[in-house]
Amino acid sequence: MGPFDTALVSAAVGITTPILFAAIGETIAQRSGVINIGLEGMLLSGAFFGFWAAWASHSTAVGVLMGMAAGAVFAAIMAFFSISLRADQIVVGVGINILAVGATTFGNEQIFQQGSQVTIPPMSQLVIPGLSHIPVIGRAFFHQVPLAYFAYLAVPAAWYLLYRTNWGLTIRGAGEAPDAVETSGLSVVRIRWFATLTAGAMAGLGGTMLSVGNLGLFTENMSGGRGFIALAAVIFGRWRPPAVFGACLLFGGTEALELRLQAQTEIPRQVWVLLLVIPLVLLAWRFLRRRRATAPGVGALAAGTVLFLFGLVLAIVGPSWSIPSQFWLMLPYVVTLVVLAGLVGRTRLPAALGLPYRRAAAGA
């Protein structure tokens, strides 16, 4: 199967898990009306402080708790300025990212960079009997570290919280009609604080998964833009946890494919075959997501047809083209930009997303 095999699926799941933690937390935050651009910094802080605590205490559990706490602390800073003081959420989030880079770089230089690279044993994998033997996906999904299973469970848990509980209704209300929530006797500020802290703790958990769970080491800026990819996954998934999970798998699979293709001297034929599948999947998705059984627009059909024919010709011919490895390195970020460019303008955001809340009674 060339680059598309069970090992690719397993790598995709491993890469997806840190992004998924951050994306699920961010889904809750954005549903409450807070767009947390500082997600990258919270993920990075969780990676560093989680690794530091695990190394110092010789306990993975302590590292996990410390990583979550670090993410929550940075989230508290975000919440204080953007919710309590009503500062611009984008500006505060950028500041959080800069603060996290500076704090983790300084801490890494002071604590660890006194010789060779400091490492700890990564988490042991937990095999689920029976499920791990399912062809293709068994080893990928059910032969993972314990934190990965928590990430899987976070998806239905977040869905249940948002859509089947009164607390989830108030969270969504804070992002759609905050005045109505306040009128009912609840505090929009408290709801948004809770959602932002949840997003920070989840991002910190994702960072811990990256350093303690997967690699057993910390390197500067090791989050590598995964916080921004998580933001894109939330938008791509339209703030619905199951769809966000699918978006995270897409981005994780793209990064895993990028790592695999770097070792290829020529573009495998399977990549051209993939171009046949993409337009078919996108067109099917457009049919399924429409409430009425209407066909996609002429522009979408034309673009899909061109892409399908292009992939068909290249799959038959199989040209021996060689592409620099730098092209594959930028592939995950190109996919992220394409998704955002294609969806943001046509996606209905939560009505109060990014807007600081001011009580009507205050006259502000």
Taking only the tens place, the pLDDT of each residue in 113-154 is 766 788 888 888 888 887 777 877 777 788 888 898 999 999
DSSP 210: I
Residues 152 and 293 in one domain: no
CB 183 within 8 A of CB 57: no
Taking the CB of residue 130, how many other CB atoms lie within 10 A of it? 9
d(CA 170, CA 187): 9
Q: Is residue 261 part of a domain?
A: no
Residues 283 and 228 in one domain: no
Residues 64 and 167 in one domain: yes
Q: Is residue 233 part of a domain?
A: yes
Residues 123 and 210 in one domain: yes
CB 336 within 8 A of CB 17: no
d(CA 211, CA 48): 7
Residues 179 and 286 in one domain: no
Question: Taking the model in full, what pTM does it have?
Answer: 0.84
Q: With a cut of 80, say whether residue 223 has pLDDT above it.
A: yes
What mean pLDDT is reported for the chain? 83
Q: With a cut of 90, say whether residue 347 has pLDDT above it.
A: no
Q: Is residue 139 part of a domain?
A: yes
Residues 45 and 74 in one domain: yes
Mean pLDDT confidence for 327-340: 71
Instruction: Supply the pLDDT for residue 18.
Output: 93
List all residues 6 or more positions away from 208 whose beta carbon is below 8 Å from its beta carbon: 46, 47, 50, 51, 63, 64, 66, 67, 68, 147
For residue 292, report the phi and psi dihedrals to the nearest 5 degrees. Answer: -105, 150
- What is the percent of the chain where pLDDT is above 70? 77
Instruction: Supply the pLDDT for residue 258.
Output: 78
Residues 213 and 277 in one domain: no
State the amino acid at position 97 in one-letter form: N
Residues 63 and 196 in one domain: yes
SS3 category, 197: helix
356 forms bridges with which residues in the sheet?
A: none
Residues 128 and 73 in one domain: yes
Of 346 and 48, which is predicted with more confidence? 48
Report the CATH number at residue 34: 1.10.3470
Mean pLDDT confidence for 9-23: 89
Residues 125 and 207 in one domain: yes
Q: With a cut of 90, say whether residue 357 has pLDDT above it.
A: no
Mean pLDDT confidence for 104-121: 83
- What is the percent of the chain where pLDDT is above 90? 45
CA nearest neighbour of 22 among 1, 46, 2:
46
Q: Is residue 259 part of a domain?
A: no
CB 24 within 8 A of CB 154: yes
CB 125 within 8 A of CB 149: no
SS3 category, 120: coil
The alpha carbon of 5 is separated from its chain's Cα centroid by a whole number of angstroms, namely: 23
Q: Is residue 260 part of a domain?
A: no
**For the chain, how many structural domains are there in total?**
2
Q: With a cut of 90, say whether residue 155 has pLDDT above it.
A: yes
Q: Is residue 141 part of a domain?
A: yes
Instruction: Supply the pLDDT for residue 159.
Output: 96
Lowest mean pLDDT among 22-31, 45-54, 135-144: 135-144
d(CA 184, CA 75): 27
Q: Exposure string (b/e) for 86-98, b if CB count within 10 Å is 16 or more?
A: eeebeebbebbbe
Q: Is residue 326 part of a domain?
A: no
Residues 270 and 231 in one domain: no
List all residues 6 or more positions away from 206 whose beta carbon is below 8 Å from its beta carbon: 17, 18, 19, 20, 21, 22, 43, 46, 226, 230
- pLDDT tens digits, 260-309: 777 666 676 666 676 667 666 666 666 665 544 455 556 656 766 776 67
CA nearest neighbour of 18 among 109, 92, 123:
123
Report residue 287 as tokens: 């049919």
Q: Is residue 120 part of a domain?
A: yes
**295 is in which domain, residue-wise?**
266-321
Residues 209 and 146 in one domain: yes
Instruction: Supply the pLDDT for residue 359.
Output: 74
